[in-house]
Amino acid sequence: MTINFVLNGEPRSETSISPTRTVLEYLREDEGLTGTKEGCAEGDCGACSIVMVRNGSGKVEAVNSCLLTMGQLDGTRLATVEGLSDKGGELEAVQGAIVDEDGTQCGFCTPGFVMALHAFRHSGESVSDEAIHDALAGNLCRCTGYRSIVAAAHAAMSGNVEEAALTTFAEPSATELYEAQGQSFLSPQSLDALIAARVEHPGAPLLSGGTDLGLSFSKDRAAFPVTIFTQNVVELKRIEEDDAAIILGAAVTYSEALARIEELFPSFAVLIHRIGSRQIRNVGTFGGNIGNASPIGDTPPCLIALDTALTLHGPKGARDIQLEDFFLDYRKTDLAGDEVIASLTIPKLGPDQNFRSYKVSKRYDQDISAVVGAFRLTISDGLVTEARIAFGGMAATPKRAPRCEAALVGQPWSEESAARAGAAVADDFQPIDDHRATADYRVRVAANLFVRLHRDLEGADDIEVTSL
Ligand SMILES: Cc1cc2nc3c(=O)[nH]c(=O)nc-3n(C[C@H](O)[C@H](O)[C@H](O)COP(=O)(O)OP(=O)(O)OC[C@H]3O[C@@H](n4cnc5c(N)ncnc54)[C@H](O)[C@@H]3O)c2cc1C
Ligand code: FES
Ligand code: FES
């Protein structure tokens, strides 16, 4: 296999580069494209942003090149800040607007902002301050101040959108194995081939979007002998739906699923909008968020409250497991070494069911949660007939809250019953202190989420659901 991609309009076929070299290192050190900057090397600052188009999707998306590996590039088109304008030195619209609006001082962050806004300009979204802030939430500027950058964003969004360096198509490699520098990078295209790779290489890491695993390459300089990439497995990319449920393949990215989730579970969509930044959501996947088994992953508590089932696949075929039974202990799951998470089945809400999820973190955007609370309540004629409540950040795994649930079921849905359920948080969880929050804060804020839930479901007008 070669790694075939197009960089700033020029086809590339790499045969000897390490498949786990970061794209940022490749751009700066091998290609001399030093307009792409390294700030944090862990997905937080956006200085390394480039835009990528995956074959099939046609969508122009901003991604962090510091967390992207060379093996992930096969069949993609990339543009860096150097490749935006093909008009003989004339600035591209965003670049010009940044100059006109004084949107740069030291300039270190500027290429990253330009690339994030270039992707936004191609997204076809309607332009508003909120949408611009969302598009820029993954980019940090330390000296200009954001007002002039946002003004530049508004100015750049008018006028025709040119295609710049992203028109040339990249023919993906026909084979599924890339080998170079003593490393193998497997890119299976079917579930069977993925399982075969799992069986042949026990212990080899699965790489999906790489927004977790990518840190091993960018920070720890890991060079795994074998890496198994899941993004080209057709079965893992499906989004299907019937009357009862939506099924998401494990390798579906947040950005790919967001539009449907917004319609089915608006409150969950608000929370997903707060996972990292656009650059993270464009590649980060549901399977990765579950597979890393973090106690503070944002989607597992929501998915548990929604009664999600996982389908795992291994050499003996498929098996289903409820997500709440999947997490066994801190970073331990029920996944066997030769299995993969293939898909998630999320039941749709019934007529009397209400779902809300809340993320508590120090910053609104681009922050890891202290606590996530997720609530699915069935309320019939004012009475709570069923409650599924789950929290993240309160225990070694994302977990249901049985005593909180018991305090609600059979009770009228009222401020008092919500407060009683909140008081039961302390019986369900004994969280720990860490640098994000103390144990005491976690218990108190989780209890307070019941007050918020009650006000929210009662339609209190001082609660704006879209900004929770
Ligand atoms: C800057 C930054 C901000 C972030 N913000 C948030 C946040 O706000 N909330 C949050 O929850 N997370 C956050 N994350 C973490 C991360 O983005 C998410 O966990 C994401 O969903 C991981 O998905 P991925 O596809 O990138 O996983 P990868 O990094 O590719 O993989 C993660 C783990 O899952 C395993 N895995 C992947 N696919 C499968 C599969 N099909 N079967 C079994 N195992 C599998 C991998 O082997 C690996 O162990 C952030 C990360 C960064 C770098
Ligand atoms: S260098 Fe900071 S996000 Fe990549
Ligand atoms: S212009 Fe200096 S960091 Fe943004």
Asked if residue 336 is part of any domain, the answer here is yes
Range of the domain at 209: 177-229
Asked whether residue 282 carries a pLDDT value surpassing 80, the answer given is yes
CATH of the domain at 141: 1.10.150.120
For the Cβ of 64 lying below 6 angstroms from any atom of ligand 2, the answer is yes
**Number of separate domains in the chain:** 4
Asked if residue 115 is part of any domain, the answer here is yes
Distances (CA, A) of 164 to 60, 92, 196, 206, 223: 11, 8, 40, 34, 34
Distances (CA, A) of 225 to 13, 118, 119, 184, 228: 21, 36, 34, 6, 10
For the Cβ of 311 lying below 6 angstroms from any atom of ligand 1, the answer is no
Ligand found nearest the CA of 146 = 3
- The reply to whether 181 and 202 lie within a common domain is yes
DSSP 344-364: EEEEPP-TTEEEEEEEE-SSS
pLDDT at 1 (0 to 100): 73
- The reply to whether 147 and 224 lie within a common domain is no
Residue 54 region by backbone torsions, left for phi larger than 0, else alpha for psi between -120 and 50, else beta: beta
Per cent of the chain over pLDDT 90 is: 87
**Average pLDDT of the segment spanning 412-427:** 97
CATH of the domain at 458: 3.30.390.50
Pocket-testing residue among 34, 44, 109, 136, ligand 2, by greatest number of atoms within 8 A of Cβ: 44
- The reply to whether 106 and 156 lie within a common domain is yes
What is the residue-averaged pLDDT of the chain?
Answer: 94
For the Cβ of 395 lying below 6 angstroms from any atom of ligand 2, the answer is no
- The reply to whether 241 and 342 lie within a common domain is yes
For the Cβ of 108 lying below 6 angstroms from any atom of ligand 3, the answer is yes
- The reply to whether 326 and 425 lie within a common domain is no
Q: E strands, 287-428, where? A: 309-314, 317-322, 327-329, 332-333, 340-347, 353-360, 371-380, 383-392, 399-400
Ligand 3 center–CA 145 separation, angstroms: 8
Asked if residue 133 is part of any domain, the answer here is yes
Asked whether residue 467 carries a pLDDT value surpassing 60, the answer given is no
State the burial class of residue 373 (Cβ atoms within 10 Å of its Cβ: 0-12, 13-18, 19+). Answer: buried
- The reply to whether 295 and 334 lie within a common domain is yes
- The reply to whether 243 and 342 lie within a common domain is yes
pLDDT at 351 (0 to 100): 94
Asked if residue 45 is part of any domain, the answer here is no
Q: Among 383, 296, 441, which Cα is nearest to 449's?
A: 441
For the Cβ of 373 lying below 6 angstroms from any atom of ligand 2, the answer is no
**Relative to the CA of 207, which ligand 1 atom is closest?**
30
Residue 145 region by backbone torsions, left for phi larger than 0, else alpha for psi between -120 and 50, else beta: left
For the Cβ of 111 lying below 6 angstroms from any atom of ligand 2, the answer is no
Ligand 2 center–CA 108 separation, angstroms: 12
pLDDT at 468 (0 to 100): 38
CATH of the domain at 186: 3.30.43.10
Asked if residue 6 is part of any domain, the answer here is no
Cβ distance 280 to 138 under 8 Å?
A: yes
For the Cβ of 22 lying below 6 angstroms from any atom of ligand 2, the answer is no
- The reply to whether 240 and 340 lie within a common domain is yes
Distances (CA, A) of 160 to 29, 163, 248, 308: 34, 10, 35, 43
- The reply to whether 240 and 220 lie within a common domain is no
Of 41-50, 264-273, 286-295, 364-373, the poorest mean pLDDT is in 364-373
Q: How confident is the model at residue 161 (pLDDT cuts 50, 70, 90)?
A: low
Asked if residue 57 is part of any domain, the answer here is no
- The reply to whether 274 and 312 lie within a common domain is yes
Asked if residue 210 is part of any domain, the answer here is yes
For the Cβ of 40 lying below 6 angstroms from any atom of ligand 2, the answer is yes
- The reply to whether 436 and 463 lie within a common domain is yes
- The reply to whether 277 and 242 lie within a common domain is yes
Asked if residue 376 is part of any domain, the answer here is yes
Supply the pTM of this predicted model. Answer: 0.96
For the Cβ of 370 lying below 6 angstroms from any atom of ligand 1, the answer is no
**Relative to the CA of 208, which ligand 1 atom is closest?**
30
Contacts 24+ apart (CB under 8 A), 361-369: 361/274, 361/436, 362/436, 364/274, 365/134, 365/137, 365/138, 365/274, 365/277, 366/44, 366/137, 366/138, 366/276, 366/277, 367/274, 368/296, 368/436, 369/296, 369/298, 369/393, 369/436
Q: How confident is the model at residue 451 (pLDDT cuts 50, 70, 90)?
A: very high
